[in-house]
Chain A
Amino acid sequence: MALPKRIIKETERLMAEPVPGISAIPHEDNLRYFDVEIHGPASSPYEGGIFKLELFLPEDYPMTAPKIRFLTKIFHPNVDKLGRICLDVLKNNWSPALQIRTILLSIQALLGAPNPDDPLADDVAKHWKADEQAAIEKAREWTRTYAQPQPQPAS
């Protein structure tokens, strides 16, 4: 099926005016599939880390939200072991007016402001609530361990 104009335009714009700290590159053989890298926001436990994600635009995009998942291991209350993300705009608050760019910005923002009250990874959320400092330290450690620019085995 031909790629909708919207996807083409979004891709073009992502290439032409990339968001600082975010890159999304479509696969050549599947233009609906993107390799995403998000730099951990400054003054967050994820600073200095480069997190790989995969993003897929389903058939009825933009009626439904893109499917997105962390590939890099990350210690975050809203991201589970499989890399799935708990974010309202990816679920019920999705609107077709949202775009890849806005979604990735939301994820970047989520890294800067973890929300343990609406957790996806319960153990991480507990840890976060019990001892936030230790949790942040662990997140930093994970970032150092797994989210370094040098290619490392992801999982």
Chain B
Amino acid sequence: MDFRSSQEPPVKKRRFFHEQGEQASSDPIAFSPRDDSPQVHKERPLGEEIDGEPENRQVLVERSANETPTRVRTQPPAQLQHESSSVTFDKDTFEAFVGANVSSDVISIIQAHCGGNLERAVNMYFDGTYKKLQKPPSLGTLIRPQPSSQNSPTTTPNSETPPPTRQDVPRERYLGAFGAEGWATCSGTNLLKHGDIVRIERQVAQTSAAKSKSRQIQARKTDVLVRFTTQQGREIGRLQRDTSAWVSVLIDQKLCRFDAVCVYAPERLRTNETVFLQLKCHFLNSAFQRRGFKLADDRSTRPFEQEETTDEKNLRLRQTAMVRLFQEVNLQPTVANEKASEGRKGLLKAAEMDEKKQKEAQKAEKPSDSTPPSEEEGQELEQDQLDALYKKAQSFDFNTPEAEPADTFAMTLRTYQKQALHWMMAKEKDERSSREPSMHPLWEEYVWPTKDVDDNDLPLFSGKEKFYVNPYSGDLTLDFPEQEQHCLGGILADEMGLGKTIQMLSLIHSHRSEVARQASLTGISDVNQLPRLGANASGVLDAPCTTLVIAPMSLLAQWQSESEKASKEGTMKIELYYGAEKSNNLQSLCAGGNVSRAPDIVITSYGIVLSEFSAIAARDGDKSWHKGIFSLKFFRVILDEAHHIKNRASKTAKACYDISASHRWVLTGTPIVNRLEDLFSLVRFLGVEPWNNFSFWRTFITVPFESGEFVRALDVVQTVLEPLVMRRTKDMRTPTGEPLVPLPPKQIDVVEIELSETERGVYDHIFTRAKRTFSQNLEAGTVFKAYTTIFAQLLRLRQSCCHPMLVRNREIAAEEEDVNAAADAATGLADDMDLDALLSHFTVAVEEASKDSNQTFGAHALKEIRDESEKECPLCFEEPMNDQLVTGCWHSACKKCILDYMRHETDRGEVPKCFNCREPLDKRDLFEVVRNEDDVDPETNKPRISLQRLGANTSSAKIVALLSHLRALRKEHPQMKSVIFSQFTSFLSLIEPVLTRANIKFLRLDGSMAQKARAAVLREFAEGQGFTVLLISLRAGGVGLNLTSAGRVFMMDPWWSFAVEAQAIDRVHRMGQESEVFVKRFVVKGSVEERMLRVQERKKFIATSLGMMSDEEKKMQRIEDIKELLS
């Protein structure tokens, strides 16, 4: 039994005593009833029971070892006086303790009742119990135990006096009784009858026993047989498996002793017949030996345990058995943590699940099942669960106070970093020493029963009315379980890029240990002044000035340079503890006597920690020779990239747990990588009670989570995290709406697009009809009825601004949710001859242009044309030309300039002539220069060009504009990435071939793609090299995406509200964006799009009032909008 192994010397005596008392203990009545004590001690403050001081215990044990419990009550005080004269009662000492003269009446009463024990006497005096003793004692059994809330521990003035010795601790104590079934293993008459006392014993596994089927299943598992015998020792039968499963554990782990009374047995007992028993449970004294939390992990003795340790298993068995027991005997805690009581259900569930798992493993019976639990335990978290968790854990309050870093810190902190500094300093300084002790949240308080199951009075023991159970560890104690010290550190889990390192360094500067402060004040270091621990048993020396930083090897240099940068000259001594320069005696460098010379920061790697740990482990934990990391108790330890220890079973994790430090911090951007267990390891490292207990963690978090109670599990995780974690993300905004880290600027420009004549024709046609429909309906007052029709027409109008061919594609109607597809038919688009004619005109124009685009030019001519383009445009003086256009007479200018000029001339009835040679110009004899940026002429190191007849790729004015922007961009920034948003996926489809022709690499992301494909596209976009364009549908790309690798955004068409567009733009312009973002919004001049911008503008102002509008009002507003759009 592991829990015994670490006890103080008295343990052995206790066991000896235990055995000695064996024969007497079988009968609870053997405890001689004592009638004067109950009410006396009931009133005793709980605080007096708290001890844990080994000396006290020693006294107690020595004494009890020499006494038989049965004699305790009647033992005259005299005998005790020999043994422990220091605490025996005499008047003078008593008065000295009490600090007052006490009347002789009182003294005599106390003397009579204190059993010669001074502490008891003092206690009785102060708590006033002696007064009651003057009255004849009432029946103790009638007095109900008081809820311990009234007994909440108060530090009484006499707290320095040692608590009362437990001379009266019983060897075992009755807990309760419960009914159980057993089955007979023998047959006979009158073997057992009602009221017979039956002994309960553990059955040692026997080969003959494994006969029945049920037995065989059992046999595979640990043997759990419990048999019952007559008082003479003859075996009658065995307990049902269900019961024996947990009863056996309690017996095996020396927690309880059971005896039983037969309730019913058939007169003629046959094998396999059922016998009804009433089991009485007695807690053994040994159950209350303190085991302490940490032993459960058994870390120092077996550092490289890979699977659930034997201890963990024992613990699990013990804890579930304990819970079952309390359930069976129906004992309710008088004080329990709310959360804890809930958790008890969880405990049983945990047990069930384990059992199930085990069974499944057995069924499979494959050797591969022996994979370490660390592999299979803990389901992976789904992304959304993780998100939910983070969201809960990161409810960062922007009003938290800030702290200014120390003068020695050479950098300036942002506001949120100062807040973190304040938080971290508060965490480190929170000793909580002044707080009143409160009960540990995991423990439950129980009151010993005062009557047994047959309503007989039970013996009562002074000052021992209560006991405490920790249902998670299965620990029992008689001592008040005090909430232990809080963790003096935490988890800084800010997202990457928010400056975790800097914040940590500011903490190192701003919170130095007392010793370090003194040393820096006086400038001398007197060894004698220092609280020197000396070479204690483990050989660990204090390093009160040193912060140990453990980081992945690749980050060591960064830590070193950052910490130098962050410190004013000469204010920090930084030591790199790594590689060849590694100091071979870190201990002498940092330990106490060397304060003035000790490094403030020691930076090392996980690898070093692991190798030193392994070296110690290889010598069975002998540290005497060791002068490295494990020979020191640091002021602070920081784990950077702490997810390195996410696997609690890994050696590195265990090594890190073993580092000793006053303050412990972990830094990680991903506290949970994919399992909740990842977090456990961090908590374990921090030593946060009680969550560093794996069994507890399992019960509250893993098990509920695995059984599908995600919300509950995550809630618990949140309560764990809340006090421990500081996490801010890049997306967070201050209450005033500013991002934590300011973003580079963005510039949004509207690019006005001029529709080509044919496009204009299509547009005007649709516009006229839409306007007609609207005004007709407006007159007839049927706007609401025709709402969808009007809306559909508006949609067509907007589409025609993008590309006339979109109008033809009737599927597009379904793209916009507001539009009823049925409205499509209502608009009567299909049988509209005019529109068709216009559209075909457009098609012809495009086709004609593309006809003989393959016309070949002489290489020389091409070269000249190319050189020309480097010069300035003769018309607008732009240099170089925008979209060089070559006339039939081979003169170049910007495309726009030539076209503007030609239109100008045509408009005034002139034949356009070449601006250079006055040759008449023909629109069909204009050629665009296509630069193949990826195809460089090796001779001139300039891109090859080719000529393409104008209009060949003129699919629509917008696409042409887009293309010219992209071309110009590619020339200026050959590595730039751009994002193109459109609300019409079919428009994206029309853009694609144009990009292909222009030799521009593109990717596409829209709603129709599977999650996996999307992720692949996003990855490629983020990681790929070179000029890349990402086509995204506004709806697929509006939310969540991170496209910060792009620097340019093209909005192909406006949306009703700019907010939607802004959100899309923010995919690029968000945290992580490093340079200015340029946004181009393409809007067709003199069209519904332009008016949409006006509506957007207006909506910006009324946006706040929109929330208060009724639906009807909103509709009215919409109609106003439409009116404006069709004006």
Contact = CB atoms under 8 A, between A and B. Distances in A.
B913 interface: yes
Given A63-B900, A63-B901, A63-B904, A95 B878 contact: no
A5 B877 contact: yes
A96 B905 CA distance: 11
A152 interface: no
B876 interface: yes
Contacts of A60: 904
A112 interface: no
B876 A95 contact: no
Interface in B865-914: 874-878, 897, 900-901, 904, 913-914
A96 B874 contact: yes
A: contact size bracket: 10 to 19
A6 B876 contact: yes
B916 A97 contact: yes
Contacts of A151: none
A4 B874 contact: no
Interface in B423-457: none
B366 interface: no
Q: Which of A5, A6, A95, A96 is most buried by chain B, counting CB atoms within 10 A of its CB?
A: A96
A93 B876 contact: no
Given A60-B904, A63-B901, A63-B904, A93 B918 contact: yes
A6 B877 contact: yes
Contacts of B1058: none
Given A63-B900, A63-B901, A63-B904, A95 B915 contact: yes
Contacts of B901: 63, 96
A97 to B, nearest CB: 4
Contacts of B918: 93, 95
A96 B875 contact: yes
B: contact size bracket: 10 to 19
B916 A4 contact: no
Contacts of B900: 63
Interface string A1-33: 000111001100000000000000000000000
Contacts of B878: 5
Given A60-B904, A63-B901, A63-B904, A95 B877 contact: no
A63 B897 CA distance: 9
Contacts of B897: 96
Question: Helix, strand, loop or mixed for chain B's interface?
Answer: loop
Contacts, number: 30
Contacts of A116: none
Contact of B874 (A5, A64, A93, A97): A97
Contacts of A96: 874-875, 897, 901, 915
Q: Which of A4, A63, A93 is most buried by chain B, counting CB atoms within 10 A of its CB?
A: A63
A5 B904 contact: no
Nearest to A4: B876
A114 interface: no
B853 to A, nearest CB: 27
B915 A97 contact: yes
Interface string B53-64: 000000000000
Contacts of A4: 876
Given A63-B900, A63-B901, A97 B876 contact: no
A41 interface: no
Contacts of B875: 6, 62, 96-97
Contacts of A5: 876-878
A5 to B, nearest CB: 6
Nearest to B891: A97
A96 B901 CA distance: 8
A50 to B, nearest CB: 29
A97 B891 CA distance: 11
B877 A9 contact: yes
Contacts of B876: 4-6
Interface in B369-423: none
Nearest to B904: A63
B915 A10 contact: no
A84 B878 CA distance: 32
A92 to B, nearest CB: 8
Interface of A: 4-6, 9-10, 60, 62-64, 93, 95-97
Given A63-B900, A63-B901, A95-B915, 9 more contacts: A4-B876, A5-B876, A6-B876, A6-B877, A9-B877, A62-B875, A95-B913, A96-B901, A97-B875
30 contacts: A4-B876, A5-B876, A5-B877, A5-B878, A6-B875, A6-B876, A6-B877, A9-B877, A10-B877, A60-B904, A62-B875, A63-B900, A63-B901, A63-B904, A64-B904, A93-B918, A95-B913, A95-B914, A95-B915, A95-B916, A95-B918, A96-B874, A96-B875, A96-B897, A96-B901, A96-B915, A97-B874, A97-B875, A97-B915, A97-B916
For the complex of A and B, the 4 pairs showing the least CB-CB separation, nearest first, are: A97-B915, A97-B874, A63-B904, A9-B877
